[in-house]
Amino acid sequence: MEIIESDILIVGGGGAGLRAAIAAAEKNPKLKIAIVSKVYPVRSHTVSAEGGIAGVLPNETSANDGDSLEQHAFDTIRGSDFLADQDAVEFFVKEAPREIIQMEHWGCPWSREENGKVAVRAFGGMSVKRTVFAADKTGFYMLHTLFERTLKYANIRRFDEWFVLKLLRDDARVTGLIAMDLRRGIIAAFKAKAVLLATGGAGKIYSFTTNANIKTGDGMALAYEIGVPLKDMEFVQFHPTGLPRTGILITEGARGEGGYLLNKNGERFMKNYLPTKMELGPRDIISRAIMSEIKAGRGFEGPHGAYVHLDIRHLGEKLIDEKLPLVREVAKDFEGVDPVHEPIPVRPVAHYFMGGVATNLRAETSLSGLFAAGETACVTINGANRLGSNSLAECLVFGRVAGEMVAEYAENNSVAINLSKDEIAQEEARIKKFLSHEGSERVAVLRESMQKTMEEHAGIEREKSSIQAGLEKIIELRKRAENIGLVDHSPIFNTEFVSALELKNMLLVAEAVLRSALNREESRGSHMRSDFPNRDDERFLKHLTLRQAQGDTSMVTTEHPVTITKWQPQERKY
């Protein structure tokens, strides 16, 4: 088998992965950096991020006066329902402005004020305007700017359309990984001093999601299977405004610019739930409000489920085309509605994982040499509910930190790495066997069943017996997945094979979500238990982590305290 050597391996080529690659390349031009991604980096899901990126720009450059790091930190912590680690949040808000300016220096076309300064818009849960944006294609512009920038560095080598099968480790630390080159259909081992996981979230465990097809929790599963814990997995964000037929995201920026949410009586119903914030509340509260309206019979009935209206007509065609062009584009193309003339049908949709691979402020995991950043990781700045526009900033801040850290780690650890030939041979044999396996289960059938289960048992509102039933179904599906048979036996670009491995990753993540959801007997942020409707700081002001048991495959839960620096937990009031 081919063995590819580099100093640093970055798995994933989205916002966090590319930012890390650039940071490492700039820190040390002699380091050999490899980006291993299952898609061309510009196809990564960062591309679909729309509304903006939060950060308190210095007053002399920003249109917004009177903001402070302290305020951004508190908004984030209150948004997290006091589960965020406050040292992480303080570090994050301090670094975010630098990253926003850094992106500008690299050419990212942020939207501007008339005087040429970077513009900001309002966002949910942010007490002042501090969200920088590039129309409503912020993630697209960031990803392409980062990608184009990576083309400058000779020491960044890309392995596009390689699927990672397994991480490798010895007793002390990570040593590399095994991956398949999808185009050539061959398996190779990658040897490296440090590995960064930046593979995004796992929204595809749900059937109704804003997430792209590639969001299958690969990094989370890879980390878990090598003995690294996952943290805060019960917290899945449901975005208030997805298009009912497809789940395609309509940005929070639409409300940031002044859009209304209306029930079928034409009422701005948020006045009954969060009168001080109205449509600019945090996502968990707004999604629950929409579900309450629908339950009370005040939603609209449609062929793809009940929905409410997002009305931006009063903003006018000029503003919509200038600041929300993608909203108009996708509403027309995918829902057949022109928001300049009609309200947009929307309903809550699975969107983002607050949880992920447990890391510290330096993006380190519990395994020496293994790092994680972006949605894959859980630092945690998001706690029980992320504020919109904090995730792009998180990708940059912790992507940069991770890039510097992997570079430093690679510089300081020059011990010879020996990959186990037996382990590599075993993996190669396993993959060959799987490719030709004639099992009776089909990927598409199991995937649909998993997605339906998660919608039903791990949605916005949860309850003990339902979570338990969901968990049993997922465990059963994991067993059945061992008997998947492929129809496509070719090693060349075998997307059925990739889907099967992605499904196994997703099932692992799904089980983690349900287990943690079962264990957390309280309601906090996005995790709403109808049988435990209140927040319970006495029992649950803590993180739940899951790790693989020694010797068998069961999941073991451990607890970790929340780091409190300045802000004592209080009732979450707006």
Which sequence positions are flagged as catalytic?
239, 255
> Binding of another protein at residue 337 (CB under 8 A)?
no
The tokens for 114 are 């008339």
Q: How far is the CB of 488 from another protein (least distance, A)?
A: 4
> Binding of another protein at residue 151 (CB under 8 A)?
yes
Count Cβ atoms within 10 A of the Cβ of residue 207 and give its class: 0-12 exposed, 13-18 middle, 19 or more buried.
middle
> Binding of another protein at residue 231 (CB under 8 A)?
no
> Binding of another protein at residue 449 (CB under 8 A)?
no
> Binding of another protein at residue 209 (CB under 8 A)?
no
Q: By the 8 A CB rule, do 308 and 262 touch?
A: yes
- Residue closer to another protein by CB (options 500, 528) is 500
- Residue closer to another protein by CB (options 156, 280) is 156
Q: How far is the CB of 435 from another protein (least distance, A)?
A: 12
Give the x-and-dash track for 93-132 against another protein (CB under 8 A).
Answer: -----x--xx-xxxx-xxxxxxxxxx--------------
Binds another protein by CB under 8 A, chosen from 2, 271, 334, 479: 334
Q: Among residues 252, 409, 424, which one has the least CA distance to residue 346?
A: 252
Sign of CA dihedral 481, 485, 489, 495: negative
- Residue closer to another protein by CB (options 297, 336) is 336
Q: How far is the CB of 60 from another protein (least distance, A)?
A: 7
> Binding of another protein at residue 213 (CB under 8 A)?
yes
Residue appearing with tokens 């894959």: 376
Sign of CA dihedral 233, 238, 242, 244: positive
Burial 336-364 (b: 16+ CB within 10 A, else e): ebebbeebbbbbbbbbbbbbbbbbebebb
Q: How far is the CB of 392 from another protein (least distance, A)?
A: 15
Binds another protein by CB under 8 A, chosen from 1, 2, 29, 61: 61
DSSP 410-441: HHH--PPP---HHHHHHHHHHHHHHHH-B-SB
DSSP 158-220: EEETEEEEEEEE-SSBEEEEEEEETTTTEEEEEE-SEEEE-----GGGSSSBSS-TT-S-HHH
> Binding of another protein at residue 172 (CB under 8 A)?
no
First to last CA, the chain: 59
Determine the Cα–Cα distance for residues 461 and 526; give it in Å rounded to an integer: 9
- Give the CA count within 13 Å in the CB-facing half-sphere of 351: 29
Helix segments in 57-183, DSSP class H: 69-79, 86-105, 138-150
CB atoms within 10 A of CB 54: 28
Q: How far is the CB of 114 from another protein (least distance, A)?
A: 6
Sign of CA dihedral 17, 379, 230, 413: positive
> Binding of another protein at residue 29 (CB under 8 A)?
no
**Could you give the 3-state DSSP secondary structure of residue 64?**
coil
Q: How far is the CB of 143 from another protein (least distance, A)?
A: 9
Q: How far is the CB of 94 from another protein (least distance, A)?
A: 13
- Residue closer to another protein by CB (options 58, 551) is 58
Determine the Cα–Cα distance for residues 39 and 59; give it in Å rounded to an integer: 40
> Binding of another protein at residue 307 (CB under 8 A)?
no
Q: How far is the CB of 294 from another protein (least distance, A)?
A: 22
Q: How far is the CB of 85 from another protein (least distance, A)?
A: 26
- Residue closer to another protein by CB (options 358, 446) is 446
> Binding of another protein at residue 351 (CB under 8 A)?
no
Binds another protein by CB under 8 A, chosen from 173, 191, 245, 480: 245
> Binding of another protein at residue 183 (CB under 8 A)?
yes
> Binding of another protein at residue 154 (CB under 8 A)?
no
Binds another protein by CB under 8 A, chosen from 442, 464, 542, 560: 442
Helix segments in 302-389, DSSP class H: 316-323, 325-335
Burial 55-76 (b: 16+ CB within 10 A, else e): bbbeeeebbbeebebebbbbbb
The tokens for 548 are 């693989």
Beta bridge pairs of residue 543: 560
Binds another protein by CB under 8 A, chosen from 39, 198, 402, 431: 39
Q: Which phi and psi (to 5°) does residue 367 adopt?
A: -100, 125
Q: How far is the CB of 117 from another protein (least distance, A)?
A: 7
> Binding of another protein at residue 199 (CB under 8 A)?
no
> Binding of another protein at residue 65 (CB under 8 A)?
no
Binds another protein by CB under 8 A, chosen from 45, 323, 351, 473: 45
Residue appearing with tokens 């739930």: 273
* DSSP state for residue 482 in the 8-state scheme: T
> Binding of another protein at residue 212 (CB under 8 A)?
yes
> Binding of another protein at residue 537 (CB under 8 A)?
no
Binds another protein by CB under 8 A, chosen from 30, 60, 418, 438: 60
- Residue closer to another protein by CB (options 232, 502) is 502
Q: What percent helix, strand, coil does the chain show, rounded to 5? A: 40, 20, 40
Query: Which of 135-143, 258-266, 411-419, 420-428 is the region at the interface with another protein (rule: CB under 8 A)?
Result: 135-143
Q: How far is the CB of 188 from another protein (least distance, A)?
A: 18
Q: Among residues 513, 511, 514, 530, which one has the least CA distance to residue 522?
A: 530
Determine the Cα–Cα distance for residues 390 and 80; give it in Å rounded to an integer: 11
> Binding of another protein at residue 398 (CB under 8 A)?
no
- Residue closer to another protein by CB (options 102, 360) is 102
Determine the Cα–Cα distance for residues 259 and 312; give it in Å rounded to an integer: 5
Residues in binding contact with another protein, number by CB under 8 A: 66
The tokens for 120 are 């900001």
Give the x-and-dash track for 478-497 against another protein (CB under 8 A).
Answer: --------xxx-x-xxxxx-
- Residue closer to another protein by CB (options 143, 236) is 143
Q: Which phi and psi (to 5°) does residue 2 adopt?
A: -65, 135
In the complex, the residues that contact another protein under the rule CB under 8 A are 39-40, 42-45, 47-48, 57-58, 60-61, 98, 101-102, 104-107, 109-118, 137, 140-141, 144, 148-149, 151-152, 160, 183, 212-214, 245-246, 248-249, 303, 326, 329-330, 333-334, 336, 442-444, 448, 486-488, 490, 492-496
